[in-house]
Amino acid sequence: MPRWTHYRFRSVWDLDAPPALVYARLEDPGHYPDWWPQIRRVEALDEHTGAVLIRSVLPYAIHVTLTDLLRDPRRGILEVALRGDLEGWARWTVRARGARRSGARAVYEQEVEVKAPLLRRFGLAGRPLLRLNHALMMRSGHHGLAARLAAGREAV
């Protein structure tokens, strides 16, 4: 039986910046609200945990707690556990784009179960809206980070 409240997401961001710089920006979620409008607030709870408030197109705020699972700059991997309105995990993998193009490719993967009661009630009917909401949020984050990197305000 399908689980209408279970989601897997994958987004690919090509960015015109060195992979180490992209990794450094993604490794610092406390500054996500500076360039990613849908990340409304990030509050550090301790060295490895933070509370995040997310609100995209839908008129609903999502509250999650992120806990570091893996930080590996050498391999370009950042992975966190998510708890709260969404439960599961999310991972960034940052690599060089390849021989033909300079810059970095950041791949975002997420697998979550929706736990928020209101969102669960609309599991099947709301599924296309939640997928669209996520896609728009990721597109906005990609544009925001690309603009920040292009503005030259960043240094490794």
pLDDT number for residue 118 = 81
The β-bridge relationship of strands 62-72 and 6-15 is unpaired
What ranges do the domains of the chain cover?
6-150
- Cα angle 110, 140, 103 (rounded to 5 degrees) comes to 80
The β-bridge relationship of strands 104-114 and 6-15 is antiparallel
pLDDT number for residue 11 = 98
Paired with 89 in beta bridges are 81, 111
The H or E element containing residue 12 is: strand 6-15
Residue 151 pLDDT exceeds 60: yes
CATH for 6-150 is 3.30.530.20
Q: Measured between alpha carbons, how far is 30 from 25 in angstroms, rounded to an integer?
A: 10
Q: Nearest-CA neighbor of 116 among 74, 153, 43, 61?
A: 61
Q: List pLDDT tens digits, range 97-107.
A: 977 678 999 99
CA atoms within 13 A on the CB side of 153: 9
Q: Measured between alpha carbons, how far is 16 from 152 in angstroms, rounded to an integer?
A: 11
**pTM for the full predicted model:** 0.91
Question: How much of the chain is helix, strand and coil, in % rounded to 5?
Answer: 30, 40, 30
Q: List pLDDT tens digits, range 23-58.
A: 999 999 999 999 999 999 999 999 999 999 999 988
